[in-house]
Amino acid sequence: METFSFEQIIGILRKHIRLIIWTMVAVLLVDGLVTFFVMTPQYEASTQILVNRKTESDPNSQLNQVQADVQMINTYKDIILGPVILKPVAHQIGGPFKGRNKYKNLQDEISISNQSNSQVFSINVKDDNAYRAADIANETAQVFKNKVKKLMSGVNNVQIISDATVNTKAVSPRKTLNLLIGLIFGFVLGVGFALIRELTDKTVKDETFLTETAGLTSLGIVYNIPDKDMEFHALAKHKSNGQRK
C-alpha cells in the first residue's frame, strides 16, 4: 500500500485545491438546502411540577417523606407517558392527535426530566408548532394533577409551579452547527477525492519514477516542444535556407 509523507500530502492538497474547494461548496450547498428547506423546525416548551406533600413536625418524618416524594417521581413519569393521561390530552389538543390511538404520537413529543434528588421535575414538549408545544405541556400537567389524586388513592403532593410559555425560537435544526458540520465534511470529502485521484493516477510524472520505482535505465530526457515553437523554428530555418540560395 502506497504511503505519503507530510510534504507529499501538502503537495497533493495544493495540486487538487480546486477539487477540494468545489467539493466543499457542493456539500455546503446541499447541507444548506436540507437545513433551511427540508428539515422541519422544532419548538420546545416546558412546565415544572413540584412533588411535595405536607410534612410533619418530626425531622425524621420530614426526611422520609421528602425521599418518598423523590422516589415517587419515577412512578409519575410512567403515569404521564401512559394512555390514562395522554388520551384526554390528545382529545383536548386535537389536530394531529385527534383519533383512535393518536395519543401515541404525543409519546414521541413528550419527555420528562429532573435533577438527582430534586422534588421538581419538568414536562418537556417538542413540536413543529410553538403554540401547540406550550398547550401540550400545560394540558399534560393539568390532566396529570387532576388524575393523580384518584390514581394514587388520595395522594395530594403535586403542584404546578411553572406554566409553559410560547417560545418561537426553534431548538432544531441548529442551522449554524449544521452548516459548520457540512463545511468540515465537505473538506474531508474533498481531501479524500484528492488522495484517491492521486493514487489512481498512473501517469509518469518524473524521471525518478522510471529509475527508482520501475527499475529502468535512463537514456536521456526528451522535452516537450510546443507546436508554436516548432512552427517558429521551422519558419526560421526555411528563411535561413532561402537566404543561402
Q: What is the pLDDT of residues 97-148, one digit of tens each?
A: 888 888 889 999 999 998 888 889 999 999 999 999 999 999 999 999 999 8
- pLDDT tops 90 at residue 10: no
Predicted structure pTM score: 0.70
- pLDDT tops 80 at residue 3: no
If DSSP states are collapsed to H, E and C, what string results for 198-212? HHHCCCCCCHHHHHH
Domain coordinates of the chain in residue numbers?
6-30+175-198, 42-172, 207-238
Quote the crossing angle between the two packed helices 83-93 and 130-151, to the nearest 10°: 140
Contact between 21 and 183 (Cβ < 8 Å): no
Predicted confidence band of residue 154 (pLDDT cuts 50, 70, 90): low
Q: Report the candidate in 139, 180, 175, 228 with the shortest Cα–Cα distance to residue 38.
A: 175
- pLDDT tops 70 at residue 232: no
CA distance 179 to 112: 30
pLDDT score at 9? 83
Structure-block grid coordinates of residue 137: 405541556
Predicted confidence band of residue 244 (pLDDT cuts 50, 70, 90): low
CA distance 170 to 110: 16
DSSP helix/strand/coil, 56:
coil
| For residues 10-29, average pLDDT | 92
pLDDT score at 205? 62
pLDDT score at 115? 86
Cell match 485545491: residue?
A: 17
Predicted confidence band of residue 215 (pLDDT cuts 50, 70, 90): low
- pLDDT tops 90 at residue 176: yes
Contact between 170 and 41 (Cβ < 8 Å): yes
pLDDT score at 11? 86
Q: Report the candidate in 61, 62, 65, 37 with the shortest Cα–Cα distance to residue 51.
A: 65
- pLDDT tops 80 at residue 225: no
Residues in the chain: 245
Predicted confidence band of residue 31 (pLDDT cuts 50, 70, 90): very high
CA distance 20 to 143: 56
Lowest mean pLDDT: which of 11-15, 137-141, 150-154? Answer: 150-154
- pLDDT tops 80 at residue 86: yes
CA distance 65 to 72: 10
With residue 10 as reference, give the H or E element that holds it.
helix 6-15
Q: Report the candidate in 121, 50, 112 with the shortest Cα–Cα distance to residue 86.
A: 112
Which residues, 6+ apart, have CB-to-CB distance to 140 below 8 Å? 47, 80, 85, 86, 89, 106, 110, 123, 125
- Estimate the share of the chain in helix, then strand, then coil, as percent rounded to the nearest 5: 60, 10, 30
Structural fold of domain 42-172: Alpha-Beta Plaits (3.30.70)
Structure-block grid coordinates of residue 6: 507530510
CA distance 245 to 241: 7
Q: Report the candidate in 43, 41, 47 with the shortest Cα–Cα distance to residue 167.
A: 43
Predicted confidence band of residue 224 (pLDDT cuts 50, 70, 90): low
Lowest mean pLDDT: which of 71-80, 149-158, 236-245? Answer: 236-245
pLDDT score at 180? 96
pLDDT score at 95? 86
Lowest mean pLDDT: which of 29-38, 74-83, 85-94, 96-105? Answer: 96-105
Cell match 425524621: residue?
A: 60
